[in-house]
A and B are shown apart, each in its own frame.
Chain A
Amino acid sequence: MTALVNPGLAEELERSDEFNADACMNCGVCSAICPMGVDVQPRKLFRYVLLGMEDRVKAEVEPVFSCLLCKMCEENCPSGVHIAENVRTLRHHIVRTVFGIGRG
């Protein structure tokens, strides 16, 4: 299995100070507590970003857009990750680069 890596992906996504995927310590509380169950796994999505695996991020349309943005995970995250805003940032990236909405 191969992956096309974009080493600048995390920086490209860092539109504001609120984006902090790198604060995730991969503990899995978010996935365990998520009302949507295994449909959304923030820690996996953030790992793709940190590893620059842009194609994997873009292939995760349904998990990214299945997030309720309800912040249940964020309320219980021991690392203070801005999970909802991080997911919204991934949505913005997909909306622009995959769906072509909001470009120019």
Chain B
Amino acid sequence: MPLPTGDVIGILADNLRLRRSVLPLSAKVATKWTEGLGLRHGGDTMLYTGMMYQLIPYIEGLVKAEIKFGDSWLAKYTGLGRKVNRVVNISAFMARPSAAERAVYDQVPINVVHLLRKAGVEFGALFEDDLYSGALAYDLGADEVLLEHARRVHAVFRKRGVKTVITIDPHTTTMLRSVYPKILEGYDIEVRSYLEVLAEKGMAPSMMLSGDVAIHDSCVFARYEGIVDEPRELLAAAGVTIRDPENTGRQTWCCGGPVESLYPAKAAANAEKRVAQLRAAAPDAVTMCPMCFVNLSSAAGDTMRFKDISQYLREAYAS
């Protein structure tokens, strides 16, 4: 059984309001990916993770805990859990991924750093000020909580003199590019996905790839932000044969991830349907969103292989 919807939303909203993220990560965990990269502090162009990739292993841990609690006598104490969570960060105890699990997701921003450098892009990072965008609060309709948080993110951009941000995942991209301008006064940050930046640069691959890969478009990239051609251009130029599944491009089929925090069983059922479409196209598939990656690869088990697009691109363009 799913946990009470209002209490789960309450815990996530309280975390964002009190601890700057729906699932608070320590600064050490959130910035682990920056180690050894010699990234510049400050500057007007920033690579911005919005903590999305770093959060995924923690969200996975929380969802597993939710499923266990939902099927146990503890479910009826979720409301009490929300009250306790305001004082003690209980979500931190519920999700404790291993270093190996975290490293899988940390690898994506590392790949993007190497790709942007190879493309000759000058950029820095915000390190501990690289805050979560508030995407989940927005999706869940917690608009007042989101507004307070978005003002905090905007204040960081102002304080650090940021003019342009280069994003990695679709959710952070749409929040910073399409939602913030509607809710924040004087917000004029230029926001570009790294896929758009790389496609525009027209880089030549240093190593040609081969093989068929089923492409899974992110709903947010394809239908919210119109990013459909860029990943295809980059993969095709690298020698990858792209196989489109039954639903593709602007008609892509959602991975189910957006409802995972409230209704994990529904999310899993939807992911299974999408995996069947992708598997019919090719045994290997590429994703461009951490939520898509985790939901689809969990549903697929060992029946097919998923890679984040940054992995293919780094291999081809920045190896």
A51 at the interface (CB under 8 A from B): no
B10 at the interface (CB under 8 A from A): yes
Query: Could you list 25 examples of A-B contacts with CB < 8 Å?
Result: A16-B182, A36-B270, A62-B263, A65-B5, A65-B262, A66-B259, A66-B262, A67-B259, A68-B254, A70-B219, A70-B258, A72-B254, A75-B223, A75-B251, A91-B140, A92-B141, A95-B13, A95-B143, A96-B144, A99-B6, A99-B9, A101-B13, A101-B142, A101-B144, A102-B145
Q: Quick check: B142 and A102 within 8 Å, CB to CB?
A: yes
Nearest chain B CB to A87's CB is how many angstroms away?
A: 9
Q: Quick check: B5 and A62 within 8 Å, CB to CB?
A: yes
B200 at the interface (CB under 8 A from A): no
> In the complex, which of the residues A61, A71, A96, A102 has the most CB atoms of chain B within 10 Å of its own CB atom?
A102
B139 at the interface (CB under 8 A from A): yes
Chain A, 49-104, CB within 8 A of any chain B CB: 61-62, 65-72, 74-75, 88-96, 98-99, 101-103
Query: Considering the complex of A and B, which 5 residue pairs feature the smallest CB-CB distances, nearest first?
Result: A91-B141, A102-B144, A99-B6, A70-B254, A92-B141
Contacts of B160 in A (CB 8 A): none
Contacts of B253 in A (CB 8 A): 35, 72
Q: Quick check: A65 and B140 within 8 Å, CB to CB?
A: yes
Nearest chain B CB to A69's CB is how many angstroms away?
A: 6
A residues touching B (Cβ–Cβ < 8 Å)?
A: 16, 35-36, 39, 61-62, 65-72, 74-75, 88-96, 98-99, 101-103
Chain B, 258-294, CB within 8 A of any chain A CB: 258-259, 262-263, 266, 270, 273
Number of interface residues of B (CB under 8 A): 30
A35 vs B145: C-alpha distance when bound (angstroms): 29
Q: Quick check: B270 and A101 within 8 Å, CB to CB?
A: no
B256 at the interface (CB under 8 A from A): yes
User: Contacts A65-B259, A65-B262, A71-B219: A95 and B251 contacting too (C-beta < 8 A)?
Assistant: no
A5 vs B256: C-alpha distance when bound (angstroms): 34
Nearest chain B CB to A58's CB is how many angstroms away?
A: 11
B77 at the interface (CB under 8 A from A): no
Chain B, 182-220, CB within 8 A of any chain A CB: 182, 219
Q: Quick check: B141 and A66 within 8 Å, CB to CB?
A: no
Q: Quick check: A36 and B5 within 8 Å, CB to CB?
A: no
Identify which of B10, B254, B266, B270 contacts A99 (C-beta below 8 A): B10
Contacts of B145 in A (CB 8 A): 101-102
Contacts of B250 in A (CB 8 A): 75
A97 vs B4: C-alpha distance when bound (angstroms): 16
In the complex, residue of chain B having the shortest beta-carbon distance to the beta carbon of A39: B266
Provide the B139-167 mask, 1 if CB < 8 A to any CB of A, else 0.
Answer: 11111110000000000000000000000
A90 vs B258: C-alpha distance when bound (angstroms): 17
Identify which of A68, A94, A103 contacts B259 (C-beta below 8 A): A68
User: Contacts A36-B270, A68-B256, A75-B223: A61 and B141 contacting too (C-beta < 8 A)?
Assistant: no
A60 vs B144: C-alpha distance when bound (angstroms): 22
A65 vs B270: C-alpha distance when bound (angstroms): 15
Identify which of A61, A66, A101 contacts B10 (C-beta below 8 A): A101
A96 vs B219: C-alpha distance when bound (angstroms): 27
Provide the B231-260 mask, 1 if CB < 8 A to any CB of A, else 0.
Answer: 000000000000000000011111010110
Identify which of A39, A65, A74 contacts B223 (C-beta below 8 A): A74
Q: Quick check: A68 and B10 within 8 Å, CB to CB?
A: no
Q: Quick check: A35 and B141 within 8 Å, CB to CB?
A: no
Contacts of A95 in B (CB 8 A): 6, 9, 13, 140-143
